[in-house]
Every structure is written in C-alpha cells, then in structure tokens.
Structure 1
Amino acid sequence: MEIVLTISVGYCSNFTPTHPFFSQRTLCFRLTHLQHRGMLRQVLAPTLAELGINPSSTACQRVLQEIMERGLRFVNGTLSRGYHCKALHLQSVILVGPMTTNQESLMTTAALAISESEFESNNYGMVAATESSVKEMLKRFKVEDGEQQDCMVCLEELGVGFEASRMPCSHIFHGDCIGKWLQQSHYCPICRFEMPTH
C-alpha cells in the first residue's frame, strides 16, 4: 500500500500572526516507511529541510512521531473496516510561529557570546609584529631634557634619564610597554604605523 502524505507548513510572523503563509509538499512512500521511524525520517528529512524545518530538532522529532502514530491509526482503522485500496492520503499541517521576544533575546545573547569568545580567542583580530622586526626597528635610548612626554601605552611620563624605545615613526614609549603592545598588535598605538607581521 502506498501512502500519499501532504505536508503543509504555515509560517506566522509577528506582523501577520493570524494570516500564516503556507508552503506545501506532497510525498509518496510505502506503508513500511510509516511503520519505522528511521525510514520515515529518511523519507521526510529532505522535504522538511526544504520547508525550513530542522530535521534533527526536537520539534521535528515530535512531528515525525505524530505523523507515524496518526498515520498508523488511520491505516489500521481503514483496513479494519474492510477497505482495501492502493493508496491512502494523509495530511499534516504544521504551524511555525514567530519567536517570542524572550526566545529571540536568549538566542541573540547566545550568538553574541559565541562571537565574542571566537573574537577573543583570535586576539580581537589583532596580529603581532614579528620579534625580529621589533629587535631591528625599535631604537632604545635615554630620554633627555626636552624629550619628556607621556608613554601612550601606560599613560605615565617618560622622565629625563629614563630608558625608552623609539618606533620607526618616531613615537617614543617605555621599552616594556611598547614591547608588550607589539606582541599583541603590529600597529603604533598613536599613528597606526605598521610593523612587519611575517
């Protein structure tokens, strides 16, 4: 016996909750597929995915179970009444509603947390300067009178007689400060001069 199953999926939105947009697909398969969950899932999964329903979701598993139970009940009722036919027609209507604000907020928060974690693990998109370029291009010197200024990494003063480092762009910093900075970013913290990265 063949089963002809018509699946109609109604999509409700926040803007039109009482007038869902329907999409429909009709499938034909053998009765044995209806009797075995794995076989039914194999037949229905591509169609459900095409209709925008994740075949591995819990909701989809419940839909599959309901199609099996109701379909088998209908088939058994038809056969027990003595009706013999080549094909039985079944229909499944699934309404997909909009997410509540709370669900949407939870999903957005989760997505942002994952994105932030990935961004952090990738050093916020920063690329370090090569160690060799730092050694070659930074010039160490003692700060003299008239050269005093603030280190723009730690924001503390570079006092007279203090050892500092000068970048090729002429900006000066505490040696340790700019050394640590260039291990994280290859840009000058003031003018964005680029140090080599490879």
Structure 2
Amino acid sequence: MAVVVLDNVTTWDVGLTHERLSRRNPSTVVFRQHPNSTHRHILSDAEDNEVQDIIQFQITGLTSVEILQEEFLNQDADFLYPKLFQLLPPSLKLDPRQDEELVHQIIARANGVLLDYSKYFPTAVNLLMRVYLNIVTTHILSLEFEGEDHTFTPAAQSAIAALKEGRLNSSSTDTCTICLEDFPVGSSVTCMPCYHIFHRQCIVEWLNNSHYCPVRRFKMPA
C-alpha cells in the first residue's frame, strides 16, 4: 500500500489581543505574533472520511511590524499588505491567494480595534497587537495498492536531507513510533512529507534501510 495525497484544504481563525504601550507621540501600532498560534495538520482517509492522525506545530515568528496609526487608518490594503505579510513565517507554506486572504483578515480585525480606540481616546494611543493564528490544514489521503514491495530499498540521501524540522508545542501528546518514546514539550522533531513526525536520528536510520514511512507507508524517493 502507498499513501497518495489527493487534496489539501486549509482554513484558519484570526484573533487579536491588544494592550496600550507607554510611548510618546506619534501614535504607533506594533504587530507581533501571538505565542499560542498553532498550525494543525489533519490526515483524513478519502474513502471513509475518518481522521487518521493529527499533528500540531507551534507557529513561531520573531518579526515585529510597526505602523503609524494614522497611516494604518488612512492607507489602503496595497500599502499595508507587504508590511503585515512579514508576520507569516514561510513554514506555513500557504499559496499566494491564502496568504492574501489571511493578511486581509488581520488588517480588518486591527482596523476595527483602532476605530474603537479612537472613539474613547481622541488623543494619541500606542498599541501592541498580538496576532493569534489557528490554522488547520486537512490532507485528504488515499491508500493505493502497489504491485511490488521495495520495503528494504533505502530512501535517496537527497530526500532524507530535505526533511523539515519542527518544534512541538505544549498540547502535543505525540510519540516517536520508531523508538516509542514520548516527545517532551518543545522538543525538536523531523517531519516526513506525509506529516508524521519522528526523532531525527530515528527516521534517518529508518530511511537508510527503507524508503517507506513506518506509519502509513508513504513512499519516499529511492
């Protein structure tokens, strides 16, 4: 059997927390990513629509974006988009249309907050806004039969070297299915293209002997 990804569907929620900053004029809004932002990957079987696995990563971003409040309220989205786009780390791997929709939602939420503040604070107010992202990507999978079983054929070294690294957040209860040890909070993991995660040493040793994922037999280049 082999795993084939038929489709990927991504949805998200955007939230903002805000607080006043002690700064002198001119009034500025500072955007940072909320530390509890997450990206969940749900693996779903296309045939029975059942969830096979859920993998959750913490979205990490160190970029701060500062925009004058007057500019934010008076400039159009074409001016604001390239600035707030910096809050989205490349690890999200969203397509350009999704990037655009997500940034525009952030702009709309922030605009509402600033308009509310302007009603009650006619003088300049400096704000810190933390952007909370809850992103879910559902991978629709299909199990297909293969005529030959090359289980003991090693994966290509280039494919092993290209495996992505990630860090688990506090809500994860995942276990490395090769060594059967739990992942401590905040531990570094290596992610296969089928989104199963392992200790780096474990999966590299495994792929040096077999080019199939040990969980769902996703086939790596050999």
Q: TM-score w.r.t. structure 1 length?
A: 0.42
Larger radius of gyration between Structure 1 and Structure 2? 1
Greater relative CO, 1 or 2 (CA 8 Å, sep 6+): 2
From the two aligned structures, give the one with the greater helix fraction. 1
Q: TM-score w.r.t. structure 2 length?
A: 0.38
